[in-house]
Structure 1
Amino acid sequence: MKKKTIFIIIGIAVALFAVWYFALRKKEQVVVLETERPKMGYISENVTATGKVQPVDTVAVGTQVSGTIKTLYADFNSKVKKGQLLAELDKTLFEATVNQYQANLVSAQSALVYQQGNFSRQSNLYKVGAVSKADYDNALYTYNASKASVNSIKAQLASAQKNLSLASIYSPIDGTVLSRSVSEGTTVAASFSTPTIFSIAKDLTKMQVEASVDEADVGDISKGERATFTVDAFLNDTFKGTIQEIRLSPSISSNVVTYKTIINTSNDGNKLKPGMTANITIFTKEVNNALLIPTKAIKFAPDSTLAGKYQMTWVNRDRKPAGADEAYVWVQKNSKELVQKKIKTGINDNTHVEVLSGLAAADVVVTGSQSMGKSQAAAQGQSSPFMPKRPGGNRRR
């Protein structure tokens, strides 16, 4: 009986020990550094905006005279040439006016011939004293009035003929008809402004994007900078462009101030259509072969858990803020030493930072630290630059 009790006590003790060892015992934690070597690569600063795709040059074709549209010779998307007939107004009234002034001119010219002969006779009689000065002056006045009447009717006839010619509407440029505002039978009135009949884009192989750039970003962009954009119709295509101008007139909507920025682009594939919404990226600074480190590296600061494990060499022990183009990073020299370095920075895209000076490509930069168990730390240590690597890489047979 006593032996059985002893075995029970021993079993309970073993169970309690197992529970403590596997569940309640505080596992020893090891602090492991996260490191990365600087690398050469591309980095940029950019500004994002939205805008509309539109033709570079658009001409509104209208009519200078009032009338009724008789015939249309072009429609939406029509390809037209300079001088091509696009539309005609009803010419009945214009032709009648021309005929009326032509008849008036013939009558006035006939009267002029008569008055010219009369003045010639009165002039000869006045020279020999057969008529009075009053008769002579009256003949001269009537002759001059007839000449003025002929000139006036000629001017009216020219105006009527011009109006008749304006009843035929021609294309001023080579291009593509974007819109047609009237139909046959529509009456157009040219009293105060020229009614628009067609809108013609000069060359749809050359387009421009009118981007709305926020006032906070407009100071960073300038003429000639590179831009890319996408449109919803072709999400997998990236279109390229160049900043042509930044217009000074602001647009204000809901207290947000934006400036129109014009981006020229090519449309050789005719994928871009007028009015498409563009999502634009403007590259304000670019470096193709920069020395880069993760942004996490300039934010890392060692804590007390690392102080006992590593020998630390400080440059900025007081932790004073770095300058505008400066930062502090920690470099792992070996398995027991961390050295703080002051670097000069360039472009920061919030993922990587350009290093202008203060680091070499062979340096091992600390980007963070984490606590883990010994087994995890051992596995992690195999990829450390200070630990020997197994021959043959990670492949297993």
Structure 2
Amino acid sequence: MKTLQKRSRWRYLLPAALLVLAVAGGALYYFGRDKQPGYMTAPVSRGDLETTVLASGTVESENMVSVGAQVSGQLKSLKVELGDTVKAGQLVAEIDSLPQQNTLRTQTAALAAVRAEKQAKEASLKQAELAYKRQSLMLRGDAASREDFEAAEATLQVLRAEITALDAQIEQAKIAVDTAQLDLGYTKISSPIDGVVVAIVTKEGQTVNANQTAPTIIKVARLDRMTIKVEISEADVVRVQPGQRVYFTILGEPDRQYPAVLQSIEPAPESIENDDSTSSSSSASSSSSSTAIYYMGILEVPNPDGKLRISMTTQVNIVLAEAKNVLTIPSAALGTKDKEGRYQVRVETGPNTFNEQWVQIGLNNNVQAEVVDGLTEGQRVVIGEQVSAAAAPATTMRRRGPMPGMM
């Protein structure tokens, strides 16, 4: 009976033991492969390489003018619409000119009155001159008193002075008339430049008040040439300079590169316009430490097809250095650097065999690096390690609980 029980027990324990051995063997197999990762490699190839400073920019018009009113009144008519192309001197708006016409008539009448008054004084002057001559002759012949002579002389001098004063009044009246004519002319507003109407600020029928500031009627801008203001960080501005080649992209066409040249770099950030000159140095240092500082670089680019529009955002690349048709490898392949400036790389010499060697590197943009010496085209270099996909089941198996029959 005991023999039968032992045979029955082994009949159940033997399959369980075999299963445990199979699981242990599989785990050892997968664990062994886990400890021997493969390597990712990349070829040494020829290509173009450049190092750039990346910045963001905003498109602006090369020349945008706010066309305003120099006199007050109701905007009687607007001659243009948004997007219209205008020429320099073209009439774009008219302000109700009746007040200015009345002022001109009033000033013209005042000028005429002063001139008439002068004519009357000139007639009195002639009479006074004759009286003075007559009194002078009579005084020499003792036919008149000196008192009468002096009175005639005083009257003559007074009239001459009054005519001089009237001459001054006439000049003032002329200036008033000219000013009234100018104000009347200002009721007709014309474009100062060739361009496109990019904004209409004042609507037809509105009343404008030019007593304090000149109100803007429309804005006209040239769109055939655009200016791009580029924000260059203080960390990068020391590496760029006017004359460097630039290319930029816009959000609507990320694959099209627009070429340009860096024209200039402003000497101070735009925030200086808002700085208070009376602020203490401590507050200035606190502000500078908490605020990013950007210097504006200026690009001027043609816009013949009109795709560049005001206030567009651009991604700008300022080219610091470039190399054409040179040997390149991924920057990830570079290892330690020695005192001579050489880098250590691992080169594939055969199946699963690698050799370490030193190479001289030129340009390096942290993506690709130029190989100056130490490698030849076609060789493969190690850029990283990869874990075998077969290790995943082993990991999963290790996390499972005990198998049946192992208790």
Q: Which residue of 2 aligns with 1:356?
A: 372
Indicate which of 331, 335, 343 corresponds to 1:327.
343
Q: Cα distance, 1:174 vs. partner? A: 0.8
Matches within 5 A, 1:93-242: 93-128=99-134, 129=136, 131-132=149-150, 133-202=153-222, 204-242=223-261
Q: Is the 8 A contact 2:125 2:160 kept in 1?
A: yes
List per-residue Cα deviations over 1:249-279 (Å, max 9, x = no partner): 3256961212222222332222222122223
Counterparts in 2 of 1:118 and 1:282: CA distance versus 1, 3 Å: same
> Higher relative contact order by CA 8 Å / sep ≥ 6: 1 or 2?
2
Distance of aligned partners of 1:164 and 1:360 in 2 relative to their CA distance in 1, 3 Å threshold: same
Which residue of 69, 75, 85 corresponds with 1:79? 85
Q: Deviations over 1:323-357 (max 9, x none)?
A: 59542234456779865443332222222211233
Higher strand share: 1
* Contact kept in structure 2, 1:229 and 1:240, CA below 8 Å: yes
Q: Per the alignment, do residues 168 and 338 of structure 1 end up closer, same or farther by CA in structure 2, a change over 3 Å counting?
A: same
Query: Which of 251, 265, 269 is matched with 2:305 structurally?
Result: 269
Matches of 1:112 and 1:104 in 2, distance apart?
13
SS in 2 for 1:144: helix
Deviation at 1:190, TM superposition (A): 1.9
| Conservation of the 8 A alpha-carbon contact between 1:251 and 1:257 | no
Question: Residue 43 of structure 2 contacts residue 381 of structure 2 at CA under 8 Å; is this kept in 1?
Answer: yes
Residue 155 and residue 14 in structure 1: after superposition, are their counterparts in 2 closer, same or farther (change >3 A)?
closer
Correspondent of 1:346 among 359, 362, 379: 362
Report the alpha carbon displacement of residue 57 of structure 1 after superposing the two structures with TM.
0.9
Q: CA deviation at 1:63?
A: 1.5
Change (3 A) 1:235 1:289: closer
Contact preservation (8 Å) 2:88, 2:194: yes
- Change in 2 beyond 3 A, CA 1:16/1:74: closer
Find the aligned partners of 2:340 and 2:299 in 1 and give their Cα distance: 32
Structure 2 CA distance for aligned equivalents of residues 192 and 135 of structure 1? 48
- The 8 Å contact of residues 102 and 157 in structure 1, kept in 2 or not, is answered as yes
- Which stretch of the first structure deviates more once superposed, 94-103 or 253-262? 253-262
| Partner residue in 1 for 2:98 | 92
- The Cα of 1:295 is off from its aligned counterpart by 1.6
Distance 1:109 1:68 in 2: 35
* Residue ranges of structure 2 left out of the alignment (5+ in a row): 138-148, 272-286, 390-407
2:140 matched residue in structure 1: none
Instruction: Supply the AA of the counterpart residue of 2:307.
Output: K
> Are 2:38 and 1:19 equivalent residues in the alignment?
no
**Percent identity at matched positions?**
28
C-alpha spacing 1:150/1:251, structure 2 compared with 1 (3 Å)? closer
Give 1:147's aligned amino acid: D
Offset of residue 81 of structure 1: 0.8
Q: How many residues were matched structurally? A: 349
Q: Alignment partner of 2:164: what SS?
A: helix
State yes or no: 1:50 paired with 2:56: yes
Residues 24 and 99 of structure 1, relative CA distance in 2, 3 Å threshold: closer
**Does the residue aligned with 2:100 lie in a helix, a strand or coil?**
helix
Equivalent position amino acid for 1:298 in 2: L
Any unmatched runs of 5+ in structure 1? 300-318, 374-397
Would the alpha carbon gap of residues 211 and 135 (structure 1) be closer, same or farther in structure 2, given more than 3 Å must change?
A: same
Question: Could you say if the C-alpha distance between residues 348 and 97 of structure 1 is closer, same or farther in structure 2, counting changes exceeding 3 Å?
Answer: same
The separation in 2 between residues aligned to 1:59 and 1:99, in whole angstroms, is 33
Residue 162 of structure 1 deviates from its aligned partner by 1.0
Task: Tell me the alpha carbon deviations over residues 230-263 of structure 1, each in whole angstroms, 9 at most, x when there is no partner.
Answer: 3333445443333222223325696121222222
One-letter amino acid matched to 2:217:
I
Compare the two structures and name the one with the higher helix fraction: 2
Residue deviations 1:293-331 (CA, integer Å, cap 9, x gap): 1223212xxxxxxxxxxxxxxxxxxx7x53595422344
Q: CA deviation at 1:106?
A: 1.8
What do residues 3-50 of structure 1 show as CA deviations (whole Å, max 9, x unaligned)? Answer: xx9xx8xx9799579827952554776676655442211112222233
Aligned to 1:243: 262
Cα gap change, 1:200 to 1:153, in 2 (>3 Å): same
**2-structure distance, mates of 1:279, 1:77:** 27
Secondary structure (helix, strand or coil) at the match of 1:289 reads strand
Q: Determine the C-alpha separation between the residues in 1 that align with 2:387 and 2:216.
A: 74
Question: Are residues 62 and 287 of structure 1, via their aligned partners in 2, closer, same or farther at CA, if it must alter by over 3 Å?
Answer: same
Rounded to whole Å, the distance in 2 between the matches of 1:324 and 1:271 is: 50
- Partners of 2:379 and 2:255 lie apart in 1 by 38
Q: Which whole-Å CA distance do the structure 2 matches of 1:174 and 1:336 have between them? A: 70
